[in-house]
Amino acid sequence: MRFHNYIKENITQELIGRDVKLNDPRFPLIVDTEENDVAYFPLFNLSGKFVGYQRYNPKGLKAPTQKQRNTMSTKDFKYYTYVTRENPEKNIPHIAVYGLHTLDKRPYVFIVEGIFDAVKLIRLNQPVIAVLGNHPKQLKNFFFTLQKKIIGVLDDDNAGKKLKSLTNKSYTTPKPYKDLGDMPLKEIKLFLKDTIGIKI
């Protein structure tokens, strides 16, 4: 399936500011022409099947509480992930990730938590998968199937600590940054070279 970039003026600057390179096949992206400031990132399972999307609304609420999730529209959330059910009867969703299109012959792949973390590494032409909050237990077989060295660049939080157990090697985003998505590309390039040992 091919995804085209439908860019509206009001979302363009936001995406560029987050290092998304527009009209570049490395960044599959859809912008809904009926909803201002909303971008959709397609998600795939390991077989390459399109199974969902993550919607990004820069004006939305970043971390809604359970009460807010129950009372607010998902359109008002900063991030909303929708994934189809692999087993609808048991309500089991597909394992959906962003970045499978970046995998190549290199023997390693970076694992990060969010799409904008992945965007930074994609800009530096690195293979990367954003796991988007999938539970580590679900990801264990997924990672094994890749048959690659799993290098985690993780946030210093509970999700990062859980993912660390599934990596061959893991690193925490250096302070003062919360995650790779907040780091300038120049600093990430130095971090890859000096700390991880990968030259760009």
- Residue 124 is predicted with a pLDDT of 96
Render pLDDT for 9-27 as a digit per residue (tens, 0 to 9).
Answer: 577 788 989 999 988 999 9
The structural domains of the chain, with segments of one domain joined by +, span 9-93, 100-196
Which pTM does this prediction carry? Answer: 0.87
Render pLDDT for 56-69 as a digit per residue (tens, 0 to 9).
Answer: 988 888 877 788 88
Across 161-189, average pLDDT: 92
Across 28-41, average pLDDT: 78
Across 157-163, average pLDDT: 82
Residue 35, amino acid? E
Render pLDDT for 79-93 as a digit per residue (tens, 0 to 9).
Answer: 999 999 877 677 777
- For domain 100-196, the CATH architecture is 3-Layer(aba) Sandwich (3.40)
Report yes or no: 116 and 84 within 8 Å, Cβ to Cβ: no
Render pLDDT for 97-141 as a digit per residue (tens, 0 to 9).
Answer: 999 999 999 999 999 999 999 999 999 999 999 998 767 778 888
